[in-house]
Amino acid sequence: VIEQGQPEHSVVTTCAYCGVGCSFKAEMKGNTVVRMVPFKDGHANHGHSCVKGRFAFGYATHPDRLTAPMIRNHIDEPWREVSWEEAIQFAAERIKAIQAKYGKDSVGGITSSRCTNEEAYLVQKLVRTAFGNNNTDTCARVCHSPTGYGLKQTLGESAGTQTFDSVMKADCIVVIGANPTDAHPVFGSQLRRRLRQGAKLIVADPRYIDLMKTPHGGEALHLSLRPGTNVALINALAHVIITEGLEDRMFIAMRCDSGEYAAWNAFIREERHSPEATEAITGVPADKVREAARMYAEAGNGAIYYGLGVTEHSQGSTMVMGIANLALATGNIGREGVGVNPLRGQNNVQGSCDMGSFPHELPGYQHVSQDGPRKAFEDAWGVTIDNEPGLRIPNMFDAAIDGSFKGLYVQGEDIAQSDPNTQHVEQALGSLECLIVQDLFLNETAKYAHVLLPGSSFLEKDGTFTNAERRINRVRKVMPPLAGKEDWQITQDLANALGYRMDYNHPEEIMNEIASLTPSFHSVTYQKLDELGSIQWPCNEEHPNGSPIMHEVDFPIGKGKFVLTDYVPTTERTNRRFPLLLTTGRILSQYNVGAQTRRTDNQHWHGQDWLELHPHDAEERGINDGDWVGLTSRAGNTVLQAKISTRMQPGVVYTTFHHPVSGANVITTDNSDWATNCPEYKVTAVQCEKVAQP
């Protein structure tokens, strides 16, 4: 698939894997990629890359790619290849018939954080115009929706505060629930460089991660907490800072809401939040918590980086706010080397959220109930928009099972494999009268589909991705779309077939519309992106070339807000039947459910998912390295091979989720974050036992 030889030309574009957003030169021979060369002028990667971006692009021309639209009347029938026109017409007629029978709210659309900003914008526009409701969501629902909620409440903007390069000024780096050297490798290397220069490191994670191994002069602390106890730990850290007088009083007085601070100060001083009182909950020794709190508060510049180990909990949003409390209390906001930094999993998590892919928010995080912004969109789009939020993804599943939700358009997400409690998801998908799947491959979700629309890979389209540091990077087409259409064209065709006119000629026109309606994008243009190389939003009249550091002078909500973050234990408890806690994560060579990386040579580097368990738990069960083990939870069961490892603490087991055969989400429950419904992937009570090789 990947032809070797001398390239004839090259095109600078952006990696479509993780939220680092590395720039690459795609070196081309005709329409074939010869190699992907990390771009030295890339603002997120400065010429660095990892094994995914550099080598795992062959999926774009893999024989499994869908190349023609297909339809079928019923999911038991074989697929029938048809023309684009027939497939779009078939999909539109079904949607219309469903809405005529069950009402306009009986259908919805889901976009993906793999898609470009322009594609995500069009999907929510299609739902709000042609479908006529707010039933639009994104797969960010299942990863960083608590970040959007938590940071908006506390700092006033649903985004990380820093550039990646800012870490080179950090004196103490706190990594919570993230494994950057595997999941965000280029930024992981940058972290390592800073640690080698002597920055201190605190890692809060149930599992020992490789970043801890970095040889560096400074101190390193591992807070190996019990899964599900993040909030108790963050409160304990804050308790030490406040009771030992380590807070930044000047920052708090100048930049924070005084009434809310006073209430929080009284709350966090309570003895129940002390490291000694919370030790039995978190499992982290009190003296380690005290040491960590002092390290962060006294460092000069303290920077917090966090991942899905923070958000994918029943208290995900609470924990995000707890992290923001900590940064506000110590004045670690608004300059280089500090900040609150979510490490976004997918390439365009930030962007898909920015683009209004939520049932309650229009592009730019403007709530549908706000009359002014809603009217601006109504005037621009020529429709009336509901002022009530629509359905979130889990609500769509529940409504499908109840029989009130009948039609779904899914762009670029394999929800049957990615979302928790697979049995529940499959029941919901099987209840739909029209499921339209737009994807590169015949994925697990497609088994329940009536219409298959072949999507285009990042190499086949123009547009933009926005990385974890709010950096808008250009995606440039290096080859024509395999099936003849870019994803935005498919969405546009569907809108037109449904009777809502869209007539864009190029994604640039979509971006111009986004900029005109989204205050934080007002001054973004493709021309400026080409001239500057990339832009970090907000980019508007006030910041015409973008904003590397946020909240330097004030917050979008005026003052920083402290929130009372009470620890509430998850309902997912261990007992005699399920005595272990399962948590999950990623590995360097693979990506998410593996739809792309498994179709490249990276597959050979990690051919299966493993179950890591502590020697103590293995011995108790008579399990040896390499044995097959049955893993059972309240939701389901699966079989994995055992890897005995002291990375785990006793009582906690761990697996990756890159291979459908092991199906980690068969095990996960449908518990979710109280504020956003982000699934609690990171805590599942399980039992495991040795079984025969399947």
Positions that interact with ligand SF4 (CB under 6 A): 15, 17-18, 20-22, 45, 49-50, 52-53, 184-186
Residues 256, 559: Cα–Cα separation, whole Å: 5
Cβ–Cβ < 8 Å for 148, 171 = no
The H helix count followed by the E strand count for the chain is: 23, 26
Q: Name the token pair of 343.
A: 């490490």
Nearer to ligand SF4, 185 or 394 (CB): 185
Nearer to ligand SF4, 187 or 261 (CB): 187
Nearer to ligand SF4, 354 or 617 (CB): 354
Q: How far is the CB of 50 from ligand SF4 (least distance, A)?
A: 3
Q: How far is the CB of 31 from ligand SF4 (least distance, A)?
A: 22
Nearer to ligand SF4, 186 or 581 (CB): 186
The answer for 622, left when phi > 0, alpha when psi is -120 to 50, beta otherwise, is: left
* Residues 6 or more apart in contact with residue 137 via CB below 8 angstroms: 108, 110, 111, 357, 358, 359, 391, 392, 393, 396
Q: Name the token pair of 133.
A: 């409701």
Q: How far is the CB of 185 from ligand SF4 (least distance, A)?
A: 5
Nearer to ligand SF4, 18 or 324 (CB): 18
Q: How far is the CB of 49 from ligand SF4 (least distance, A)?
A: 4
Residues 224, 471: Cα–Cα separation, whole Å: 32
Nearer to ligand SF4, 50 or 613 (CB): 50
Q: How far is the CB of 584 from ligand SF4 (least distance, A)?
A: 18
Q: How far is the CB of 217 from ligand SF4 (least distance, A)?
A: 26
Q: How far is the CB of 25 from ligand SF4 (least distance, A)?
A: 13
- Dihedral of CA atoms 81, 84, 86, 87 in degrees, nearest 10, equals 70
The answer for 253, left when phi > 0, alpha when psi is -120 to 50, beta otherwise, is: alpha
Nearest to 53 by CA among 14, 11, 109: 14
Cβ–Cβ < 8 Å for 126, 495 = yes
Sign for the CA dihedral angle at 160, 313, 208, 22 comes to negative
Q: How far is the CB of 6 from ligand SF4 (least distance, A)?
A: 24
* Residues 6 or more apart in contact with residue 249 via CB below 8 angstroms: none
**Residue 356: DSSP 8-state:** T
Nearer to ligand SF4, 207 or 344 (CB): 344
Residue with tokens 């003296």: 287
Nearer to ligand SF4, 178 or 580 (CB): 178
Residues 154, 429: Cα–Cα separation, whole Å: 36
Nearer to ligand SF4, 58 or 651 (CB): 58
Q: How far is the CB of 597 from ligand SF4 (least distance, A)?
A: 10
Q: How many residues does the chain have?
A: 694
Nearer to ligand SF4, 20 or 110 (CB): 20
For 472, the enclosing helix (H) or strand (E) is strand 471-475
Nearer to ligand SF4, 184 or 194 (CB): 184
Residues 270, 675: Cα–Cα separation, whole Å: 25
For 33, the enclosing helix (H) or strand (E) is strand 32-38
Q: How far is the CB of 192 from ligand SF4 (least distance, A)?
A: 13
Residues 83, 101: Cα–Cα separation, whole Å: 27
Q: How far is the CB of 360 from ligand SF4 (least distance, A)?
A: 29
Nearer to ligand SF4, 49 or 547 (CB): 49
Q: Name beta bridge partners: 302.
A: 172
Nearest to 417 by CA among 453, 441, 451, 452: 441
Q: Helix, strand, coil shares of the chain as percentages rounded to 5?
A: 35, 20, 45
Q: How far is the CB of 3 from ligand SF4 (least distance, A)?
A: 21
Q: Name the token pair of 270.
A: 């309570």
In the complex, residue closest to ligand SF4 by CB: 53
Per DSSP, the three-state class of 91 is helix
**Residue 237: DSSP 8-state:** H
Q: How far is the CB of 180 from ligand SF4 (least distance, A)?
A: 9
Residues 516, 44: Cα–Cα separation, whole Å: 26
Nearer to ligand SF4, 255 or 471 (CB): 471
For 249, the enclosing helix (H) or strand (E) is helix 249-255
